[in-house]
Structure 1
């Protein structure tokens, strides 16, 4: 087996997903390292890929390129995959950093951490930014002092919970079982820092906990967690005492604690008995804990990496994909699945190679958990959504509101033009000046000061527009239903275009006749299932030829940004796709509410899903009418309420009024002087 360094693996993983030369700066930014590091690795990379009959070349002005036959690239991918278990990734390094911080009392110098982990202090500083979020999830604070180091602040019970989750990111059930059979080499690298202590504690804890499980049907994963929890207690109880918190526990749990106390070779304080009580509750829960989110997130990153290699697509660059998969795996259940074999056949037919890649990667990354094919089918939808053809950029009109002075507004406007070339019209106004403007003339509003309630989409932003603000604005752009914006019309000559008018009226009638309100059964759980059921219904209506392609397009909209309309029970799904034959507007009432991300980035319950769909090559008239529907939804409070609760008759009346306004604008005369000259 070929040996690769961790850095070589990262660079080669990245280059294998690219067909064109890649700038050194781009590689460095993607891998969160320096350009100098990439330059230093260039010569060694060439030597590494040579046995695979591949060439690593540097093209001046264009960057690095991995060249060679696709078959040889596939061999390199397989070799990299096989080396994955032996060599730590960046995530493994960050897990070890978090683990070492939790083992320390008080402040620890970053230089000492860097020396212990054989990495540069600058890398430690970068990794601390990454792991800070993990500590926050467990109500812990990562406190840093310049020149002194870093320290974890928080309760011991939360530190122990994080420790157990960190171990789970590095250790699967099969390796744990082999370790208990005497294969000490199965102990993860993370625990080899204090190898002898962990071996003794885990074996002792397992021997104590096993008799309690004989009367119960407990999963291997819960048994492993119980053993690890006892081991963590044995190692930490003397150095890091627990603080007791008054709580009530079922008699059955208290009985188990008494039994464990009798079998343990050391006495337990009341606070330590509480730690065991908290952990034994897991035996009565058949669900993922909040602590599992860290485990799932790190494994999803590896899953995306593996699928990228197997499929040959740069899925790793897509942040929305990671978020979507984590949310899906954390919330998805196998119960009440509707016709799973039918779902699998649909996904396999649309994405055969991708399905195989996801299945193979899942077996590799989640080797201690079993996922059925219908689980994986919905994972494939998330990957397939990334492959959906992106919608063309449409010019946007934005209003910038700033009361801090001309300089601030100019600064923000210049930053906007730099970051968003699709912004066609950027205008500024003071807070008091917006009352004199027609806000409906703008697609959205950005403000450096809090605004009164306005109907247009808006965001409060920093005038310097840092990176995170750019991401928020990008999400807002994606959430806007501008995929239905009609092309700019030419100035009218005063001549009534009867053909255009006829097409407009015909399209309006078709949209009105096709409009429907349908109910989605409470047995359909999860957004992916709901979108697939909706799309299958639209296949029956001859709106689209591919339920999978349409549902992945709609899912992509959701993953990129929130689609829930704030303050309502509505979500607006919209998209254009080449699988769509004809446009339409449809409403789906959910018997069971679903939690979705809103346009304001807050989670909200949704009970009605509005779907706007159009062909990729749609007529200007269709886009104009669909755009008018999206505007009508939030035109006023009464109309929004009717979209939330109205029946089909009430909503057809709204559509009729909305279409009438569009047609009347078409008929508006343009004053032109009459020419009587001969």
Structure 2
């Protein structure tokens, strides 16, 4: 399989154009702007290719002529036209990867001129690329050797050679183009990296894997299949001359059996070490890949709009809301439900919990409101629904810890080996990054992506919801410069101001301030000490009867009139859903003249109740959180109850604590939060 260089295209084009008379060497030298010596070398390179097509290049009285049948000449003409249309020059980064791949595949030292011709660049460009690669290779203990008159070669282990070669190819190849190429019967190859391995061998490996191995593995993506095809093909190409040495492990026996079946299908034989090597590759790939797809086209369209909404709010607030996948999924699901069932949205009435969040975050609410109008301009929703959307953003804005230091996730093909060295290089070159995490693509399911500011990957991640940067395993100087620029832009974009929760400041003279703090501490202490987690038997009760039971448990030291309190609570739950999304909790709250003083209680139900959550989805409520307050509250009381509400609905960690925590753990967490709020407001 041959991909012609630009110069070779020009030479053959002139020969075809001037057939059958031929063209003088001096004229061809003038057109191509190269010496006669270079042309002789090109003729030598092209001779085998022309013979394959049924053509010969002959010198007839000083003129060079293509000799062969007209059909062969027409075929060459078609090939030149197609290649000119399809083949594009490699970009610098891909060219360096191509050069590295050629050296990794080579059995002997390579001449600079041969590499230049192969990549269609000057010898000087190859020399410069080699200088950049030399430093990158050295980081991985791979030695680039140069010797005048001999050439260039790499000194490394066979395992490293194969690992690097496969990672480079995975980094450069496109899944769709690769499988289209395997099905295509044309001899023209539009991609340099596709021709690194014989097409027939790639097809053989793909068919063998499809017949004998893939049905028995948990391989769920085209990219995983591509990875296995490349690994098996490289093994078959290099195993006879360059065997690997690996240890046999008992847990690989199942995968070795699959390799035996594959070899039988492709009629090949391998030594035991190579069998073990391929078995290990199968074991690594035998996991479910992360899926980021939508089955419903409408849901996909809405999720893309949600992504744009998040990007717009992030830009306005100088805060990266896009980093947390859980946040993106929750908000997408909420908006999809809202737009699919617009008549079931929240009523446009004041809901204290949501209104309080709006008051605490006026700038964020204004940004969300503007972004909604711009992205979802066709859908008008109520102020209350906008406040609920604000809730999702506020949760991220309040709880995400920010600093000037960044956290970076590096997604690699295997998470070890080259990846670890890549991590060390980045650690050295990027001091503004406080934390690096290595992960394989199969591990993305288990990771909290929101913990990382930036995602880097040595391979493409089709459908991945986060913005990410591709880096090659070698990390050349050019890539490093690009990364540094990207990180600076990221910091400038999202770190212009640090997100902090709005702190309540105690104004006035110091004696009055001291009294205010003392009163706040006393009130908060009462709330914490009175908090109880109680189990109540509501077997066979409907919702009203359950509310009556809970009010009765609270007692007359808090409630003046039980009937009025029950009516107020029932009225509130009819006004709008009180279930908390993605939980087994409902927040039953009211302010009423039937309430003597503020109180917070948690009741575990013996018989769970199915209720609507704020996002209009049904949830099964196992715990009822009851928050009661008198009709006229002081500022201290409002602030303290607001803190409790925020704890419950703004933070996933404390939400889980309210779902499962015991009385002691909840009292401790509540006291810690109150202390934090009080300390934040002390003006000394």
Normalised by the length of structure 2, the TM-score is 0.35
Give the structure with higher Rg (CA).
2
Greater RCO, 1 or 2 (C-alpha within 8 Å, sep 6+): 2
